[in-house]
């Protein structure tokens, strides 16, 4: 069993090879969807591939769906391809087989899925992110045996883009930064992955770029995302009365 031997004697090389295999398998799945004629159908298949990968790697406190985000004023976001949201304290609403509404307070991260990452798709993903971040989020104190914890401040919802490839010849570098840096408000994107071997994020203090260009870009991206999610802690406690009040009017 050469792989078992390799895992004992050269563990790092084993992990790199194993994770590279994960990436190449995802690339193959995404590229196989090219056989689907209609763009919309092909897009839905690719979204599901990304959703499955995130579900496999994220802890059970998170879940991942395609969804629309809803707030207590009745405002809604655009349809979001991939939403990472709380599954422990917050129900999804009005679920159907392929779609659901998620309260804004429950959202950790949103992603747009595209065939490639270029200037146009960056801007498009930024608009989708903005449609989520503009929504109202409530937060109420959390009761405990000795009293209550104060209402938790809201964190910034992570936003990113997922694709098969990057459109720039040099990957995520100067040309990319010129396009990405224009997204500097509520439409900014914190991270991105091109599964042909490119990843970026701005999670470090100060917002500087961190890049990975390798056959391990997929798992690099996932581990960096995991660390950022971990730093956010738990979503705020929802004021369900604010939602109920909309139904009594």
Using alpha carbons only, give the angle 87, 130, 71 rounded to the nearest 5 degrees.
50
Q: Which residue blocks in the chain are alpha helix, DSSP H?
A: 2-9, 11-32, 39-57, 119-133, 174-180, 217-232, 240-247
By percentage, how much of the chain surpasses pLDDT 70? Answer: 83
pLDDT of residue 191 exceeding 90: yes
Mean pLDDT of the chain: 86
Alpha-helical (H) ranges within 33-118 are: 39-57
The one catalytic residue among 71, 81, 118, 165: 81
Residue 47 designated active-site: no
Digit-coded pLDDT (tens) for 42-99: 557 778 888 999 998 899 999 999 999 999 999 999 999 999 999 888 888 877 767 7
- Active-site pick, 22, 47, 114, 196: 114
Q: Which of 112, 165, 167, 201 is catalytic?
A: 112
pTM of the predicted model as reported, rounded to 2 decimal places: 0.87
Nearest to 209 by CA among 227, 191, 232: 191
Q: Is 112 a catalytic residue?
A: yes
Work out the number of other CB atoms within 10 angstroms of the CB of residue 116: 15
Residue 132 has pLDDT above 70, yes or no: yes
114: annotated active-site residue: yes
The mean pLDDT of 179-189, rounded to a whole number, is 94
């Amino acid at each position: 069993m050469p792989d078992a031997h390799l895992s004992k004697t050269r563990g790092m090389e084993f992990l790199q090879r194993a994770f590279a295999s994960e990436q190449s398998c995802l690339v193959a799945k995404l590229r196989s969807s090219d056989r689907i004629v209609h763009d919309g159908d092909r897009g839905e298949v690719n979204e599901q591939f990304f959703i499955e990968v995130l579900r496999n790697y994220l802890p059970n406190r998170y879940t991942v769906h395609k969804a629309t985000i809803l707030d207590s004023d009745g405002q809604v976001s655009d349809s979001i391809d991939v939403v990472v949201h709380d599954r422990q304290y917050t129900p999804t609403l009005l679920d159907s087989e392929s779609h659901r509404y998620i309260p804004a307070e429950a959202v950790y991260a949103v992603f747009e899925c595209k065939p490639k990452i270029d200037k146009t798709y960056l801007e498009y993903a930024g608009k989708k992110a903005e449609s989520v971040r503009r929504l109202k989020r409530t937060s109420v104190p959390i009761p405990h045996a000795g009293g209550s914890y104060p209402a938790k401040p809201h964190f910034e919802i992570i936003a990113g883009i997922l694709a098969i490839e990057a459109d720039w010849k040099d990957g995520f570098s100067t040309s990319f930064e010129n396009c990405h840096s224009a997204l500097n408000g509520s439409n900014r994107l914190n991270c991105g992955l091109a599964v042909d071997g490119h990843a970026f994020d701005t999670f470090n203090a100060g917002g500087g770029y961190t890049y990975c260009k390798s056959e391990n870009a997929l798992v690099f991206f996932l581990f960096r995302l995991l660390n950022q999610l971990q730093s956010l802690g738990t979503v705020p406690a929802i004021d369900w009365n604010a939602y109920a009040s909309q139904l009594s009017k």
